[in-house]
Chains A and B, each alone.
Chain A
Amino acid sequence: DQQVKQNSPSLSVQEGRISILNCDYTNSMFDYFLWYKKYPAEGPTFLISISSIKDKNEDGRFTVFLNKSAKHLSLHIVPSQPGDSAVYFCAARVYSGAGSYQLTFGKGTKLSVIP
């Protein structure tokens, strides 16, 4: 049951160019989307998020775009830096009742930024 899909397991980009990581979802009840970055031997680290009522959120080099009609979001990193090399997880939040929420994660995309 893959409610959140990251169809590209890996992506290689030259330093200085744009990295675009994609994520598709199926559950229309998701109301908030997050991107996490994970380095080897570390836990996921929150990167950027977007509410379902918005279509864009920008934070420095990172921009997340949301297309609700297509149930698609993307993370843009520009310019890409070697330190951005990591696994990027897309996650989606759903309200599960009684004040509780759950996150559903994608499988991740491994980004390699080549110097």
Chain B
Amino acid sequence: EPEVTQTPSHQVTQMGQEVILRCVPISNHLYFYWYRQILGQKVEFLVSFYNNEISEKSEIFDDQFSVERPDGSNFTLKIRSTKLEDSAMYFCASSDSPILDEQFFGPGTRLTVL
């Protein structure tokens, strides 16, 4: 069964460093998303991406964040200068339609900022 994969599973970084979280969505999906979950909190929407551009972003997704689909398979989330409060689980998701009736999530990358 096709699945969304994410690498790495755990990333530890120093405050102020740049990190890139990688995702490989399901191959025939066209809509891609990043969410994050701070420990003990709810899953929060960050950004949606379609046709090589951002279609929607939340207020969390500020200038420190960027997304890219550098090739036909990867979908990346970059945080330019990490802050302590960026420590969270980051989930990538993909879907074959924009109506969010069903999304497929990856296993997540746990980001720890020291």
Q: Are B98 and A107 in contact (CB under 8 A)?
A: no
Collect the chain A residues with CB atoms within 8 Å of residue B105's CB. 36, 43-45
Cα–Cα, bound, A43→B103 (Å):
11
* CB 8 Å contact bits of B40-82 with A (1 = contact, 0 = none): 1111110010000001101000000000000000000000000
Contact check: which of A46, A49, A102 meets B104 at CB < 8 Å?
A46
B-side residues, CB < 8 A to A, are: 4, 6, 9, 35, 40-45, 48, 55-56, 58, 91, 93, 98-108
Check B45–A102 contact: CB distance below 8 A: yes
Q: Which of B6, B98, B102 contacts A101 (CB 8 A)?
A: B98
**Contact call A102/B42, Cβ cutoff below 8 A:** no
Given contacts A32-B100, A101-B100, is CB(A43)–CB(B55) below 8 Å?
A: no
12 contacts between A and B (CB under 8 A): A32-B101, A34-B100, A34-B101, A36-B105, A41-B9, A41-B108, A43-B105, A45-B105, A98-B55, A101-B98, A102-B100, A108-B42
Q: Which residues of chain A from 14 to 45 have any CB-CB distance to chain B below 8 Å in the complex?
A: 32, 34, 36, 41-45
B75 to chain A, nearest CB (A): 14
Q: Is the interface of B mostly helix, strand, loop or mixed?
A: loop
A63-94 to B contact mask, C-beta < 8 Å, 1/0: 00000000000000000000000000101010
Shortest C-beta distance, A47 to chain B (Å), equals 10
What is the bound-complex CA distance between A105 and B43, given in angstroms?
Answer: 6
CA distance in complex: A71, B58 (Å): 24
In the assembled complex, which residues on chain B have CB atoms less than 8 Å from the CB atom of A106? Answer: 42
Complexed CA–CA distance, A32 and B4 (Å): 23
Task: Determine whether the beta carbon of B101 is less than 8 Å from that of A49.
Answer: yes
Chain B residue with minimal CB distance to A105? Answer: B43
Which residues on the A side are within 8 Å of B56 (C-beta)?
A: 96, 100-102
In the complex, whether A99 has a CB less than 8 A from a CB of chain B is: yes
A103 at the interface (CB under 8 A from B): yes
- Using Cβ atoms and an 8 Å threshold, which residues of chain B touch A2? 42
